[in-house]
Amino acid sequence: MEVIISPTPDEAGKLAADAISELLQRNPEAVLGVATGSSPLIIYDELGRRVAQGSLSLAKTRAFMLDEYVGLSADHPQRYRNVIQDEFVDKVDIDPAQVSGPDGLAVDLSSACEAYERAISDAGGVDLQILGIGTDGHIAFNEPGSSLASRTRIKTLTGQTRRDNARFFSGDIEAVPQHCLTQGIGTILQARHIVLVASGRGKAEAVHQLVEGPVSAMWPATALQLHPHVTVLLDTAAASRLQLASYFIETYQGKPSWQGF
Ligand code: F6R
């Protein structure tokens, strides 16, 4: 696990965009995994700038979303497919038809989850997965107690996550759906490279557990310790509880320039 601590969230976002640019230079048809929420917005903005400048193209990529609320109407602005459209697809040159997410409006949700797993695997798997982290240590919507081997399935959101996400629903926790479909931790661990971004003091405990805690379903993000290629991009506030912070800073300062991500 590589941990990079930047002075600001913007710096961390630029590094994530660098990792994506490096990948797409090697393989323009790479498959991206995209997250919603606040954390990746700096990445999508930066990718948008690079596409507008002509230094990057996502025209040949495919993208798979991590999760989706169950039951939000097709035109609901907080439906994750719509959020991804506004925050990512509309800013870059990816073909919208090549962006997929779990179907939170399916009549048969279990079959929709199985179909989503098949779609990811038929696409050859995810090359680079962007992740955020919840204050309770969730990745995608794998809440504490989730199986570390789980696959895409229906989950119930915790009260904490619904409170955290109420800000997207005019502060109304009751408007935040109780259920979601989410890639499982086992699904996420199959991505070839995982890039997790976190900023702000509110994430510091979850980040400490992710990087330095014991692997445990109580902090689902700790499963990433089992993955061979994870990059954790933090601002100083999110890194403020790391015991190894100065080691990570030294390591990054001394990183050979040829090494890349
Ligand atoms: C979103 C997702 C969630 C968020 C997490 C952090 O697709 O899967 O795990 O990444 O809740 O959200 P923000 O970035 O809004 O703090």
* Residue among 138, 164, 193, 208 flagged as catalytic: 138
* Residue among 143, 164, 193, 208 flagged as catalytic: 143
- Helix (H), strand (E), coil (C) string for 65-98: ECEEECCCCCCCCCCHHHHHHHHCHHHCCCCHHH
Catalytic (active site) residue 136: yes
The pLDDT score that the predictor gives to residue 71 is 95
Residues whose beta carbon lies within 6 Å of some atom of ligand 1: 35-39, 66-67, 132-134, 138-141
Task: At 59, list the tokens.
Answer: 């025209």
Q: What type of residue sits at position 180? A: C
Q: What is the CATH number of domain 16-200?
A: 3.40.50.1360
* Residue among 136, 164, 208, 235 flagged as catalytic: 136
The pLDDT score that the predictor gives to residue 191 is 98
The pLDDT score that the predictor gives to residue 36 is 97
Residue closest via CA to ligand 1's atom 10 equals 132
CA distances from 211 to 94, 146, 190, 232 (A): 33, 18, 19, 9
Select from 32, 131, 133 the residue to mutate for testing ligand 1; criterion: most ligand atoms less than 8 Å from CB.
133
The pLDDT score that the predictor gives to residue 84 is 98
pTM of the prediction? 0.97
Task: At 70, list the tokens.
Answer: 């169950």
Residue closest via CA to ligand 1's atom 15 equals 37
Rounded to the nearest 5 degrees, what angle is found at the Cα of 217, between the Cα atoms of 159 and 83? Answer: 50
Residue closest via CA to ligand 1's atom 9 equals 140
From the number of C-beta atoms within 10 Å of its C-beta (0-12, 13-18, 19+), residue 70 rates as: buried
Show Cβ contacts of residue 32 under 8 Å, excluding neighbours closer than 6 positions: 20, 58, 61, 62, 63, 64, 126, 127, 128, 129, 130
Bridge partners (DSSP) listed for residue 144:
none
What is the CA(256)–ligand 1 centre distance, in A? 32
Task: At 66, list the tokens.
Answer: 């991590």
The pLDDT score that the predictor gives to residue 54 is 97
Bridge partners (DSSP) listed for residue 230:
194
From the number of C-beta atoms within 10 Å of its C-beta (0-12, 13-18, 19+), residue 49 rates as: middle
Q: DSSP letter for 158, please.
A: P
Q: Which pLDDT tens digits describe the chain residue by residue (261 residues)?
A: 999 999 999 999 999 999 999 999 999 999 999 999 999 999 999 999 999 999 999 999 999 999 999 999 999 999 999 999 999 999 999 999 999 999 999 999 999 999 999 999 999 999 999 999 999 999 999 999 999 999 999 999 999 999 999 999 999 999 999 999 999 999 999 999 999 999 999 999 999 999 999 999 999 999 999 999 999 999 999 999 999 999 999 999 999 989 989
Q: Whole-angstrom Cα distance, residue 6 to residue 193? A: 20
